[in-house]
Every structure is written in C-alpha cells, then in structure tokens.
Amino acid sequence: MTSLPVPDASIAGAEPRRISRRPSGADAVFVNVSRVVAASVLVVTGGIGIFLAYQSLPTLRHYGFKFFTTQAWNPEADTIGIAAIIVGTFEVALVAMVIAFPLAISMALYITEYAPPKLRSILVAAVDLMAAVPSIVYGLWGFFLIQPHAAHFALFLQKHFGWFPPFHVGADPNAAVPDATRYQASAFIAGVVVSMMATPMACSIMRQVFSQTPEGEKEGALALGSTRWGMIRAVVLPFGRGGIIGGTMLALGRALGETMAVVMIISPEFLIKGRILEIGSDTVAATIALQFGEANGIQLSALLAAGFALFVITLLVNTLAAIVVSRSRSGADN
C-alpha cells in the first residue's frame, strides 16, 4: 500500500494567488481609449446643450413662456414664437413615419426571412447606400419628381376624405380646374420625402434584431406545422418587438431634425393649421437654416432657442429609443 505524499509545509501554508481583473498591455490601451472616446461624446453632447441653453437665455428673458405659445415669427414687430414650427416639425415627422414604418418592417422581414443569400447581401448594401445619400439629393428628387405626383394624390385625398380635418384644404376639389398650387409645398409632400431618409435607419435596426432570433425557436414553430408567415408572427415579431419600437423612434429622431429636403420643398408659413395637404408649414430645422444668415440680436438668440428645443426633443426621443432597444428580448430583458 502506497502512502500519500506529505505536502510541503511551505506550499501548504501558501495563500492562493489573487486574480487581477485590471487590464494590462493591449487590453489596458483599448479600455482607456474607449473611455476617452465615450467621455468625449458625452462632453461634446453636453457642451452643445449647455451652449444652446446659455444662448437661449436672452430670448427666454425677453419673451418668457410666450415664446413657446406664439405662432408668428415676425422680428420687425418683435413677435417671435415657435409654437407653429414645433407643430409643423411633428406634422412632417408623423407623415414620414406613417410611410416609413411599414416600408422598413416589410423590407427588414424580407431581407432576413425571404430573400436568397445572394440577394440579401445586395439588399443590405442598397439599404445602407440609401442612408448615405445626402439630404439635398433627396430634396431635389422630391421637388422635381415627387411633388407633382404627390400634389395629385393630395387632391384625391381631399376629394374622397376631405371630411377628415387633416385632409381638408381651403380649395374646391371638384372645380373644373382645381387650383394645383394649393396642394404643393405642403407638410405632406415634405413628409413623403423625409420618409425615404428615415426608412433605411429604421430598417437597419429592425433587420439586425430580426437576424438575432434563435434558430431553434423558428425551426420549432415550423416543425409544429406553422407556415413561414405564422412563424414570423409567433416568433420573429415578438422577439424583435423592442427593435421595432427602437428603430422606429430612432428614425423619428432623424425625421424631426431633417433640414435641407424640407427647406427645398415646404413653403414657410408660421401658422398652426393642422391641414397637412395644404400649402404652407414649417419646421424648426428649416426655419433655422433659412433665417440664420440674416439673423442678429434677439432674432439670433431666438433661433438658438428654437434649436435648443429641437435638441431636447431629439435627445429625449433617441434616449427613449435606446432604452427600449436595450430592454428588448434580444437585449437584457429576456
């Protein structure tokens, strides 16, 4: 019978080596660089907000809360407010999202679930290319190609659905020669063009979330006799619920801040009408772009105050979208 070796006293009394979690070498460099980049993003974003808030103080002292409730923008008469352009901003963004949402989710589902592998890579590249096209190109496309056709469609909507207040236009749609100019340069046409810029962003987020759906669950649904569309409804869409909401809200943030395409199409009018098919509306970003070059004094401060309001709205929308995405089933919640 062999005896077990007696452990050395020095080894038996030694304490276990502590494992260090502190990164070293290349890991330390990567961690520190990442921290600097993340901190710089926060510093730049916070700096922009602080600068705009500080520059807005003269306007808020001069006009008070009326700055947010006044519709007119008339510096000569010392009457300036952002109520109309805030409403116009949301009107254009709402039209854009009504069009962009079904396009984005349909495109994302087709790419992830129906498209052949070779076509899938082409479609992904095409969607990414759409997001890279400058907004002024979309503006030219909308002004020369979309606007004439959209104006005829707006006339059709008023003729058949004019009883719905947003589709009402102050013109007779049944006239022998309808006034086509009443249906151009509207929030509706601007929203159609902006939707083409918001669609790629929403589609990209949705596609990435849909592609993370567990294959086992999809195969299990198909094995139980489900059709492909039934599997999508029962597995893919519930799994990607957070991505759908998050992608839509991120695209909404893009639509709220779009500038050049709106400037080239919409006819500025500082009035809350609620009639999206009728000529005349404006957004915060378009107002800043059009009037910034000639602004000075209190008008310049008012433009910066409008920019601060848009900054806060966009920041809230994007923050809420990030929270929804992080808590989706594909994230930390499930």
d(CA 311, CA 332): 28
pLDDT band at 334 (very low <50, low <70, confident <90, very high): very low
pLDDT score, position 65 = 86
Between 145 and 174, the higher pLDDT residue: 145
Structure tokens, 327? 């808590």
Least confident residue range of 23-32, 130-139, 181-190, 204-213 = 23-32
Task: Return the closest-CA partner of residue 255 out of 96, 139, 75.
Answer: 96
Amino acid at position 1, single letter: M
Beta bridge partners of 186: 279
pLDDT band at 99 (very low <50, low <70, confident <90, very high): very high
> Is residue 195 over pLDDT 90?
yes
pLDDT band at 94 (very low <50, low <70, confident <90, very high): very high
Where do the domains of the chain lie, and which CATH numbers do they carry? 69-326 (1.10.3720.10)
Structure tokens, 217? 């669950």
Q: What single string gives the DSSP state of each residue in 147-208? A: HHHHHHHHHHHHHHHTTSGGG--SS-TTSSS--GGGGSSBHHHHHHHHHHHHHHHHHHHHHH
pLDDT score, position 198 = 92
pLDDT score, position 330 = 46
Between strands 79-80 and 73-74, the pairing is antiparallel
Neighbours of 272 (CB within 10 A): 15
pLDDT score, position 9 = 52
pLDDT score, position 333 = 46
pLDDT band at 92 (very low <50, low <70, confident <90, very high): very high
Evaluate whether 238 touches 231 at the Cβ level (below 8 Å).
no
> Is residue 331 over pLDDT 50?
no
Between 322 and 288, the higher pLDDT residue: 288
Q: Which residues contact 328 (CB under 8 A, 6 or more apart)?
A: 209, 240, 241, 242, 243, 245, 246, 334
The C-alpha R_g of the chain, in whole angstroms, comes to: 27
Q: How many residues appear in the chain?
A: 334
pLDDT score, position 163 = 86
Task: Return the closest-CA partner of residue 182 out of 71, 287, 88, 275.
Answer: 275
Between 234 and 296, the higher pLDDT residue: 234
Segment of 6-10, 185-189, 239-243 carrying the highest mean pLDDT: 185-189
